[in-house]
Structure 1
Amino acid sequence: MKKLKLPNTFVLLFTILALIAAATWLVPGGRYDTHTVDGRQLIDPSSFRHIAATPQGPVQLLMAPIKGFAEAAQIIGFVLIVGGAFAVLQKTEAIEALIRNIARAHRRSPAVRAALIPVFVTMFSLGGATFGMNEEAIPFVLLFIPLALALGYDSVVGVAIPFVGSQVGFAAAFLNPFNVGIAQGIAGIPMFSGMGYRLVVWVLATAVTVIFLMWYAARVKAVPERSPTFHLDQDKRHSMPVDDHAALTGTHRAVLWIFAAALAVMVVGVVRYGWFIEEIAALFLAMGIVVGIAGRLDSDTLVAAFVQGAKDLVGTALVIALARATMVLARDAHIIDTMLHGLMPLVASSSPVFAAQKMFVMQSVINFFIHSGSGQAALTMPIMAPLADLVGVTRQTAVLAFQFGEFTTPMIPTSGITVGVLALARIPWLTWAKWMVPLQIAYAVLALLLLIPPCLMNWQ
C-alpha cells in the first residue's frame, strides 16, 4: 500500500471528465420543461421527455476545461484576488505575530486549548447556517493552516476548522436563504418555518464535527506521524518563523484591526445587503491595499506581494475550472435531467421514514453533479415536493432531506470549492477523502436518524 501512488487532483478530475464523456454515449438525452416563478427557473415535474442525445467526444472533452474556466470565472477571479490580498497581509508579518501570540497562549492556558477548536468551528458553522457561508471560507484557510501548525496540529485541522465548519453549517442550516429559503419557497411552505427542529439539527451536526475534530487534533498532537499530511507539513513548518517571543507592534495591531474590520464588513454585507462574490472580492482588494499602506509597505513591495499571492493560486484556479467542466459536459450532453428522472421511482416506499431517507440518499447523489444549494433546489424541489405528497412525507421533511445532501460537499471532487480549498492547502484530494470517510459516515448516520422524528410527528 505504501508503494501505491495515488493520482493528483488534476489527473483525478480529468479521469472523472473522461468517464462522464463516456457516459454521454450510453445515457439517453432528456429534458424537463421549465417555467419562471419569482425570477427562478423551475422544472415542471410532469413534463419529462426524451430528446436526441448529444454524445461528447474527444473534442468536447478537451474543450470542457476552458468552458469550465469561463463559467467559473467569478470564483476563479475571487480566489486570485483573495490570494493576492492575503499575500500582502502576510507580507506585513502581522499574522505571523498574531499566530505566535495565540500559540503561546495555547501552551500556557488549558482554557484556550479546550476552547479554540469548538469556538472557531461553531463560528464558521453559524456562518454557514445563517448567511450561507461557502466561498467566503476560502480566505480563512490561509490563516488557519499556519495557526494549526504552530499549535502542533496539521494542515488537515487548519482546513477543517473553517471549511468543514462552514459546510456542516450550510447543510444543517436553519436560516440560510440559499438552500432553506429557496427550497421552502419552491415547496410552497412558509420561508424559514420549522426553525425549532432545524436548530436542534444544527446543534447536533456541529457538535459531531467539533467532537471528531478535537479527537483527531489530540491524536495528531500526541503523535504527529499519525497525520496523513505529516510529510507535506514538514516544509510548511520549516518556513514558519521560529521567534516565539516577538510581541505585536503598533503597526501589527493596526493591520489586524483593519483585517478584522474587513471581515465584519463582509458579514454585514452578505447578511444585510446580499453581497456575493463580486462585492466580497472588491472588499478584499481594498483590504489588501489599505493593509499594505498601514503595514508601511512601499508600492513596489505591495504590488509584488499581491502578484506573487495570485500567482501561487493559479493551480487552484485550474482545479476549479476542471471541477466546473464536469457539470458542463453532463449539461451539454442533456443527461442531467435523464439521470434525475431515472432516480425518481427509487423514492417510493411503504414507509414515510424510508421514503424520506431515500430522498436524502438521492440528494446526496445529485449533489455530486450539482453542488450549488440554490441550483440544486431549483432543479430538484419542483419534483421532490409533489413526490413527497405522494409517498406520505411532509414537504418540510423533503426540504430537510434536500439540505442533508449537502453533507457530502466537503468530500466530493466535483465541487469547485472543495478542490479549490484543497489545492490552496496543497493537500491531495485522495488524502483528504480518506481522512473524511469516518466523518462522512457519522454525517450519513446522523442524517438518517434525524429524518425519523419529522416523519413520526408529521412535521409541518
Structure 2
Amino acid sequence: MKKFPNAFVIILSVILFAWILTFIIPKGNYQREINTENNRTIVVPNSYEQRNAPHLSAFDALLAIPKGIAGRADLIVLILLLGGCFYVIEKTGALNQGLNQLILALKGREVFALAIITLLFLTAGFTIALQEEAIAMTPILLLFGRTLGYNTSTIIGASYGSAVVGAAFSPFNPFGVLLAQKEAEVELLSGTEFRLVFLLIAAIVWTMYILRYASKHRVEKSALELEVIKLTTRSKIILTLLALTFGLVTYGLIVLEWGFNEMSACFFGLGILSGLIAHFGFNKTTEIYVDGFREMVFACVIIGLANSISIILSEGSIVDTIIYGLFSPLKNVSPSVSAILMMFSHSILHFPIPSYSGQAILTMPILTPLADLIGLSRQVCVLAYQYGTIMMDVIVPTNGALMAVLALGGIKYNNWIKFIIKPTVILLVIAAIAILIAVQIGYE
C-alpha cells in the first residue's frame, strides 16, 4: 500500500480539485446589498441567476495560494506568537516542572485527568469557540498525554475534538449561533434552554466515547515520568502569569469583543516576560521565541492553504451555485424532512466553505425566507446550521485548524477519520433528534 498523503499534499489536491470544479459547475451568483444598520453585505433571497464569466487560469489558481495565506494573516500571527510563547515557557522549565507535579498528583488517576482535559476543552468550545488556539497547545498536550499512557488520537480528540463539540452544541457560540441568529433576525440568545439540554447530552456521550476509546488503546507511558522536582518560585510565577493570561483573553473575547490581534499581543507579552523572569535576557529570549516560530510554520502554511480553496471557489463564481443546488430542493418536502436535509446540506457545504461564520453570513439570508415559506421556524433553521456546519470541523480536510493539529500530532488524515467518524455520526444523530423534536414542539 502506498504511503497516505500528508496534510500538505491533501490540501494541494483539494485546491486542484476546486479549480477543476470551476470548469464543471455552472457559474452564478446571488445579488448582494449593504445592510445600512450594521454596514454588512447581505445576500438578497431569491436572486440567484446563472451568468457567463471567464474561467480561472492555472496562474489564477496558483495566485490563490499566496492570497489565501495573506488572507489569514491575523490567525497566522496568533499561531506564531502563541507557539513562540509556549516554546519560551517550555524552555524555562516551568512547564516540565508543572507537568511533573501534575503527573505525580494524578498518578493512578489517569482517567480522571483525561476527563478533566475533555471537560476544559468542551467548556472552551461552548464559551469562546476555541479552535485555532488549540494548535499551539497541541505539542504540550501530546507530551502530557504520553506521560499518562494515552495515544495521540485520544489527546487530540479530548482537546481539539472536544472544543469543536462544545462549539457545535453551544447556546451562545459568538461566531456561530449568535451570528446566525443575527443574520436570521432571531432574538439573540433565544432558545438557550433547549440548546443547553442537548449540549449536556452531547457532552456526556462524547466524554464517554473518549474515555472508552482511551481505555482500549492505552500506550506505554513516556519515559518523561519524571523525577520529583518541586516547583521553583520562578516557575510558580510563570505558570501563574500563564493562567492569568488565559483568564484575561477569555474575558476579552466574551466581554470586550477581542479578536486575534488582541490575543496575539497578550501572549507575545507573556512570552517575553517569562523569558526575562527566567533570567534568559532579551537576546536569548528572542532567539528562543524565533525557534518557537519554526515549530509552528508548517501549521501556519496549512491554515493559509486551506483558505486558498475558498478563494478559488469564490473567484470561480461557483459558491452561490453550490448553495442554490443544495438548498433549493428543500421547499418540496415536509418541514421535518426539510430541517434534517438542511442540516446535512450544511455539512456538505462546509467542505468548500470551511469558515462556519462565513457560512452563516452566506446562507442565513437565503434560508430564512425559505424556512418561512415551508413552515419551518427560523430558530430551527439556525439549529440545523449550527449542528450540521460546526460539527464537521472534526472531519473536513479544508479546515486548516484540523489539518494543522493533525500535522503537529503526526496523524495521517485517513487514520484520524477512522477514529473520529463513529462519534461524529453518533453526535449528528443526536443533533437530528434534537431538530425533529424542535420541529414538533414549534421551537422558536
TM-based fold match above 0.5: yes
1:269 maps to 252
Q: Which moved more, 1:328-337 or 1:387-396?
A: 387-396
Q: CA deviation at 1:286?
A: 0.3
Q: CA deviation at 1:337?
A: 0.5
Superposed, 1:46-445 pairs within 5 Å as 46-108=46-108, 110=109, 113-221=110-218, 224=219, 237=222, 241-405=224-388, 406-445=390-429
2:14 is the alignment partner of 1:16: yes
Give ranges in structure 1 of 5+ residues lacking alignment.
226-233
Q: Which moved more, 1:297-306 or 1:284-293?
A: 297-306
Residue 416 of structure 1 aligns to which amino acid in structure 2?
G
Once the two structures are superposed, residues 51-100 of structure 1 have per-residue CA deviations (whole angstroms, 9 ceiling, x without a partner) of: 22332332222222111111111111211111111110100111111112
Quote the sequence identity (%): 28
1:28 maps to 26
2:39 maps to 39
2:212, 2:335 → 1: CA distance? 36
Between Structure 1 and Structure 2, how many residues are aligned? Answer: 441
Q: CA deviation at 1:114?
A: 4.1
Q: Answer whether contact 2:83 2:137 (CA < 8 A) is retained.
A: no
Residue 266 of structure 1 aligns to which amino acid in structure 2?
V
**SS at 2:217's partner residue?**
helix
2:42, 2:150 → 1: CA distance? 46
Residue 163 of structure 2 aligns to which amino acid in structure 1?
S
Once the two structures are superposed, residues 198-249 of structure 1 have per-residue CA deviations (whole angstroms, 9 ceiling, x without a partner) of: 001211121122111111111122xx39xxxxxxxx9xx56xx453322222
Q: Which moved more, 1:330-339 or 1:156-165?
A: 156-165
Q: Please report the TM-score for the alignment, with normalisation by the length of structure 2.
A: 0.95
Q: Answer whether contact 1:141 1:421 (CA < 8 A) is retained.
A: yes
Q: CA deviation at 1:411?
A: 1.5
**SS at 2:33's partner residue?**
strand
Residue 158 of structure 1 aligns to which amino acid in structure 2?
I
1:58, 1:189 → 2: CA distance? 43
Residue 343 of structure 1 aligns to which amino acid in structure 2?
L
Residue 401 of structure 1 aligns to which amino acid in structure 2?
A
Q: Which moved more, 1:182-191 or 1:396-405?
A: 182-191
Q: CA deviation at 1:444?
A: 1.9
Q: Answer whether contact 2:184 2:368 (CA < 8 A) is retained.
A: yes
Q: Answer whether contact 2:28 2:317 (CA < 8 A) is retained.
A: yes
Once the two structures are superposed, residues 411-439 of structure 1 have per-residue CA deviations (whole angstroms, 9 ceiling, x without a partner) of: 21101211122223332323222211112
1:231 maps to none
Q: Please report the TM-score for the alignment, with normalisation by the length of structure 1.
A: 0.92
Residue 445 of structure 1 aligns to which amino acid in structure 2?
V
2:396, 2:260 → 1: CA distance? 22
**SS at 2:268's partner residue?**
helix
Q: Answer whether contact 1:29 1:54 (CA < 8 A) is retained.
A: no
Once the two structures are superposed, residues 371-417 of structure 1 have per-residue CA deviations (whole angstroms, 9 ceiling, x without a partner) of: 32321111001111111122222111110000012101122110121
